[in-house]
Chain A
Amino acid sequence: MLRIKDLVVKVEDKEILKGVNLEVNAGEVHAIMGPNGSGKSTLANVIAGKEGYEIVSGEIYFKDINLLELPPEERARLGIFMAFQYPVEIPGISNATLLKTAINEIRKARGEEELDAMEFLSLMREKIKLLEMSEEMLSRSVNTGFSGGEKKRNEIFQMLMIEPKLAVLDETDSGLDIDALKIVANGVNLLRKDMNDRAIIVVTHYQRLLNYIVPDFVHVLYDGRIVKSGSKELALELEAKGYDWIKSEDKITV
């Protein structure tokens, strides 16, 4: 589904990703772990198509489509969704308006009819309950005045509404208490019920989230490279030994 090959990315002349390779197939959940500054968020942003990153070399293919040639909105319309680490506030646009516009743009791109207003409303009501958020939030401006935890839940709510093919969760666990973490993880696991044409990438610093969203594969990103890949046990090992373990191993392999 997603194929990243030898990806080298610079930000303001500094090389952040130094040759990343990653292959994600439909049905799989991948976790990307790594210490601060290892390039995790850069990788997520580059997949989503954020400006300000210089792609020096390498490629990103999504279902045989060259993503690097597409602006972010077209990537989104292909089914790529990013849950932001820091969701921005957008005063004046209600959550309902945002979702309706987003879903209809995506449907339009797929040659599908726009969603009927009533159908859309009942769908929103159904999904918002799953995240234990109040319906009143639908008419509030996007993320405006939301607490950190509410913002993260709102990201997952949007994800459940949009039902993406590839979901990239960027540090969705940061700033969440354990109850909120469980709710968010539950949301992600709902999406997991139908993985027929779907994959999920979970970017995180801590192993904690992976107790609730159990990955099929774990990769360790360190200094712009994926230095270690393995099964879910790798996350536990990391938690136990800390990132210093990777650092020392890294030195040995170099």
Chain B
Amino acid sequence: MQNETVDLNQLALQEYKYGFYTDIEMETFPKGLNENIIRMLSEKKGEPEWMTEWRLKAYRAWLKMEEPHWANVYYPPIDYQDIRYYAAPKKRPLKSLDEADPELLRTFEKLGIPLEEQKRLAGVAVDAVFDSVSVATTYKEKLAELGIIFCSMSEAIREHPELVKKYLGSVVPPTDNFFAALNSAVFSDGSFVYIPKGVRCPMELSTYFRINANETGQFERTLIIADEGSYVSYLEGCTAPMRDENQLHAAVVELIALDNAEIKYSTVQNWYPGDKEGKGGIYNFVTKRGIAKGKHSKISWTQVETGSAITWKYPSVILQGDYSVGEFYSVAMTNHRQQADTGTKMIHIGKHTRSTIVSKGISAGESNNSYRGLVKILPNAEHARNFSQCDSLLIGDRCGAHTFPYLEVNNPTARVEHEATTSKIGEDQIFYLNQRGISKEDAISLIVNGYCKEVILELPMEFAVEASKLLSISLEGSVG
């Protein structure tokens, strides 16, 4: 018994190991949001006039919009004038990493994302975003040899305006929803990817988002374009310091897959979830959408969501091209007082389009976890097919799981299947495993990883192991 107590205490300490803060010289904007702030931001980033106008238009639309409250989540009103919309390290590398504040490099190294050339992760190119700005992108030159563009959004606006103009906002229009409008007005950075015709991207592309400054929101924008017959696998990760206040993260991700192209987008979301009593944590209000525009194109979302105080996100696919494929694999885990309302939308427009939804919700502690999904088959989508499977797993009896599936089928040739299950990790299962020599923590982690296996297997290999570990850590302290 003595030993067990000690172990549990040690486990509790490492609960959120990315909660540290980097003391670094920052340049920040005053709090609040108005047209001046947006002009300042645009100027700071050296943007052309059309971009500034694009932002202002979004801002004006946003002013007329209302924050949505249909999700199954509850939080006090957000004061949008009490947020800082820009924070960036003063000394960041412009040409070479030598110019960077060493603290900045140390931060990413601590997070397991070394940026220096000799230490870089093998097989993974990384764009590192720190608060409002991208600080470094690795393997850029090597990728450029294949014609692949992988850079920060700011750089893309300056260097590749024709692509940005054509595609930015084409999947998620600035007026799509309240948070997308806000993002369109104030987004400060993010990643841009373009894979040229017929190129198979030889390495994983990845963006690592780090929120560091306090009282600051993070608004990043990601745009990925896969040209005809190309392939890319992209992964995003994210962490933030532990703080008592809530911080807003409102991102927009747009994916475009042309004829025969495939985009695989994976997320391991580990924003600070708040403490056990529900104090602090990130509000993660994100709009992610892809368009499978071309024939036989494919977009696949895989997400493992363990962080954030509140998650509001529905990575979706518009299946426009005939024979296009959309997939959504999700594990959303909530513990303590976390709330998640997440799911997907599959909009079938083209003929013979197929979509698959596999959602695994896990609720522990006093958390609340909702799946919300829409499958829409438009009148012209002949022979469209969808398979949805939504499972919920409850740990303990103070948490909640909810499923809100919406189906709109407007074509009689469509085939739509929906399966849903709810199960509970029972004392009896735990005792059975205990009796076989397996500790309580290991028993739960075995059950949870078994339950999520289908989704974890969809992740790129390098991250599948990390994700499994993350699930176990996030559950620590969930059983008494």
* Contact partners of B428 in chain A: CB under 8 A: 88
**Contacting residues of chain B (429-469) with chain A, CB-CB under 8 angstroms:** 429, 431-440, 442, 446-447, 449-451, 453
**Interface membership of A17, Cβ < 8 A:** no
A87 at the interface (CB under 8 A from B): yes
Cβ contacts under 8 Å, B433 to chain A: 90, 98, 102
| B4, B423, B429, B446: the one within 8 Å of A71 (CB) | B4
Q: Return the contact of B432 from the options A90, A92, A94 (Cβ within 8 A).
A: A90
| Pairwise interchain contact A109-B432, C-beta atoms closer than 8 A | no
- Verify B453–A77 contact, CB threshold 8 A: no
* Residues of chain B contacted by A51 (CB below 8 angstroms): 427, 431
Q: What is the CA–CA distance of A167 and B440 in the complex, to the nearest angstrom?
A: 22
- Tell me the number of A-to-B contacts counted with CB atoms below 8 Å: 78
Q: Are B434 and A88 within 8 A (Cβ)?
A: no
For residue B1, CB closer than 8 A to chain A, the reply is: yes
Question: Is B447 in contact with A82, judged by CB distance below 8 angstroms?
Answer: no
Q: Give every chain B residue within 8 A of A92 (Cβ-Cβ).
A: 447, 449-451, 453
- In the bound assembly, the distance between CA atoms of A97 and B438 in angstroms comes to 12
Give the chain B neighbours of A49 by CB distance below 8 A: 434-435
Q: What is the minimal beta-carbon distance from B279 to any residue of chain A, in angstroms? A: 31
Partner of B439, one of A50, A73, A97: A73
- Which B residues, 390 to 441, have Cβ-Cβ distances below 8 Å to chain A? 423, 426-429, 431-440
Which chain A residue lies CB-closest to B454?
Answer: A92
Q: How large is the interface on A (under 10, 10 to 19, 20 to 34, 35 or more residues)?
A: 20 to 34
Structural contact, B450 and A91, CB atoms closer than 8 A? yes
Whether a CB of chain B sits under 8 angstroms from the CB of A48 is: yes
Asked if A82 meets B435 with Cβ closer than 8 Å, knowing A71-B4, A93-B446, A141-B450, the reply is yes
Please name the residue on chain B nearest to A162 by beta carbon.
B436
**Distance between B392 CB and nearest chain A CB, rounded to angstroms:** 13
User: B residues within 8 A CB of A141?
Assistant: 450
Q: Do A72 and B435 touch (CB < 8 A)?
A: yes
A158 within 8 A of partner (CB): yes
- Closest Cβ of chain A: how far from B445's Cβ, in Å? 10
Would you call A90 and B437 a contact (CB within 8 A)?
no
Query: In chain A between 48 and 83, which residues have their CB closer than 8 angstroms to a CB of chain B?
Result: 48-52, 69-73, 76-77, 81-82
- Nearest CB on A from B132, distance (A): 41
Tell me the bound Cα distance from A20 to B469 in angstroms: 45
Across the interface, B434 reaches (CB within 8 A) one of A76, A91, A106, A158, namely A76
Q: Enumerate A88-115 residues with CB–CB distance to B below 8 Å.
A: 88, 90-94, 97-98, 101-103, 105-106, 109
What is the bound-complex CA distance between A116 and B449, given in angstroms? 22
Instruction: Check if A212 is an interface residue, CB within 8 A of chain B.
Output: no
Q: A71-B439, A72-B434, A103-B437 are in contact. List 10 more A-B contacts (CB 8 A).
A: A71-B440, A73-B435, A73-B439, A88-B428, A88-B429, A88-B432, A91-B450, A97-B446, A102-B433, A106-B437
17 example contacts (A-B, Cβ-Cβ < 8 A) are as follows A49-B435, A51-B427, A73-B435, A77-B437, A84-B435, A90-B433, A90-B450, A91-B450, A92-B449, A92-B453, A93-B447, A97-B450, A101-B442, A102-B438, A105-B436, A105-B437, A105-B439
Q: Which 5 A-B pairs have the closest CB atoms?
A: A92-B450, A102-B436, A76-B437, A72-B434, A105-B437
